[in-house]
Chain A
């Protein structure tokens, strides 16, 4: 007969193992990311290239523009100069009631390139990109000239062959839409833009290749999405206006309509990203809130395999939710580790080491491989790639990987200074390390607060210390709060200065 004490012991043991499992939850997103990177190798064999053919449809380029006079002139020149038959290319600029010289610039370009540049004007503006796009879409779909539509942003620069590299996939009638690899191209660019540059290697060049393998794409880049006419008609001829993630909705709707979506990592376009945390925060909060809306709107899709599309596949669901719930994973892991520290000190130390060794190996593989994927960005942003998880996380990784080195450094420090490393110091450091998976987010967020308080020079310190990745997690967490509160959906346009340029 089992005594009450034995039942309590059993429950305590069970509780400890539950805590261990919750701590290890913190490794799940990185393991998922590692698997995502492993699929890139499969992409060498399983890709859409064999189905491509030389195909140059009549392409209408749709450029939404609100006060873009600073960048439009050069943008239009570059679009007209693309390595693509001039008689098969038209540029439609939808001027969203701009108050600057945008109409004059577009009209002047219309005179310079008659029949190739069209100025469309909305008298009521500021409703968001989707409304602006729909204005142009209605007119372009109104006649049968257009065979394919390229949706882009006014500041984005296409490499001369990129459009043709995208249209080749439309030779396959099963393909509804194609997207390209958007790279951060600010010249010279600051530390934050270099972080974004590296982020885009992981989030686009890497992640979208693996999504090609899965047959389900999460998002057509807003600045580079090419649609076949048939696909636009299949999704109703308009872009969703009820959310902040119109590009993700279009991507999902395309796949739900039974059309394939393809990422071509060899078609490259360059974009200018924010040079300050406040601007980046606004942009990413809009994207993150859009992701919350997508997750809820398509809740019937997740983890439910379907013969018509792969959005419901288990792997795609894991990839989506590992990103979407990343802040939760990190906070749960930290909270469980801290609880374990007080409940079972030895076990906490062991599981902490296991967690961070898994993180270290994933980090090593992902970082080295990401740098190899895009050598141009690697040369520019290798420091930011290394510092992506933050300097403190990097130190924890180094410690778990090479404790003997740290022990030697500690003894060297004691010998040099004459100060002994006490037990209290050890426990303080341990508590900080245990809680760091959660703590790194507010630390990175301090970078934004510093910028808001006019201490912009202090922002990089917090971003490098807390990490750029944790900064994005802080944005994601804020998006939950905004959506939960039902905050107003305002379209905060990202300010563009025209500093982006093609590399020489």
Chain B
């Protein structure tokens, strides 16, 4: 592991087991508690999913533009 990786791991180790404000009190016996790492992984997945959604829309919009050019050439000029 390089210096960057060690630094990153060191920083991540500083994270305390934290629950969103107000949630700690509500956690009861048998409840599944989401750790900081779990929450980070979930948010990371959500962020990456959003970026992939934008990629799909970009392709769709490009297809729309191409279709528009075809329609224009065939019927609108």
Interface, chain A (partner B; CB < 8 A): 37-38, 40-41, 43-44, 47, 49, 51-57, 81-86, 88, 160-161, 164-165, 168, 170-174, 209, 264-266, 361, 364-365, 368-369, 372-373, 401-405
Given the complex, which residues of B lie within 8 Å of A209, measured CB to CB? 54
Q: Are the C-beta atoms of B43 and A165 separated by less than 8 Å?
A: yes
Given the complex, which residues of A lie within 8 Å of B11, measured CB to CB? 53, 55, 57, 170-171, 173
Given the complex, which residues of A lie within 8 Å of B64, measured CB to CB? 364-365, 368
Q: Which residue of B lies closest to A173 (CB)?
A: B7
Interface, chain B (partner A; CB < 8 A): 4, 7-9, 11-12, 14-16, 18, 20-21, 36-37, 39-40, 43-44, 46-48, 50-52, 54-55, 57-62, 64-65, 68-69, 72, 75-77
Question: In the complex, which of the residues B9, B16, B39, B51 contacts A47, with contact meaning CB atoms closer than 8 Å?
Answer: B51
* Given A86-B21, A364-B64, A373-B54: A404 and B76 interface contact (C-beta under 8 Å): yes
Q: Please list 10 pairs of residues, one from A and one from B, whose beta carbons are closer than 8 Å in the complex, sorted by A's number.
A: A40-B54, A47-B51, A49-B44, A160-B20, A171-B8, A173-B8, A361-B69, A364-B65, A365-B62, A372-B61
Besides A40-B58, A161-B43, 17 other A-B contacts (C-beta < 8 A):
A41-B54, A43-B54, A47-B48, A47-B51, A54-B15, A82-B21, A83-B20, A164-B43, A165-B47, A173-B11, A361-B65, A365-B61, A369-B61, A372-B61, A401-B76, A402-B76, A404-B76
Once A and B bind, how many residue pairs between them come within 8 Å at the CB atom?
115
Q: Which residue of B lies closest to A46 (CB)?
A: B51
Q: Which residue of A lies closest to B60 (CB)?
A: A372
Q: Which residue of B lies closest to A52 (CB)?
A: B44
Given the complex, which residues of B lie within 8 Å of A372, measured CB to CB? 54, 57, 60-61
Given the complex, which residues of B lie within 8 Å of A83, measured CB to CB? 20-21
Question: In the complex, which of the residues A81, A165, A369 contacts B21, with contact meaning CB atoms closer than 8 Å?
Answer: A81
Q: Are the C-beta atoms of B39 and A54 separated by less than 8 Å?
A: yes
Given the complex, which residues of B lie within 8 Å of A364, measured CB to CB? 64-65, 68
Q: Are the C-beta atoms of A43 and B21 separated by less than 8 Å?
A: no
Given the complex, which residues of A lie within 8 Å of B21, measured CB to CB? 81-84, 86
Q: Are the C-beta atoms of B51 and A44 separated by less than 8 Å?
A: yes
Q: Are the C-beta atoms of A41 and B14 separated by less than 8 Å?
A: no
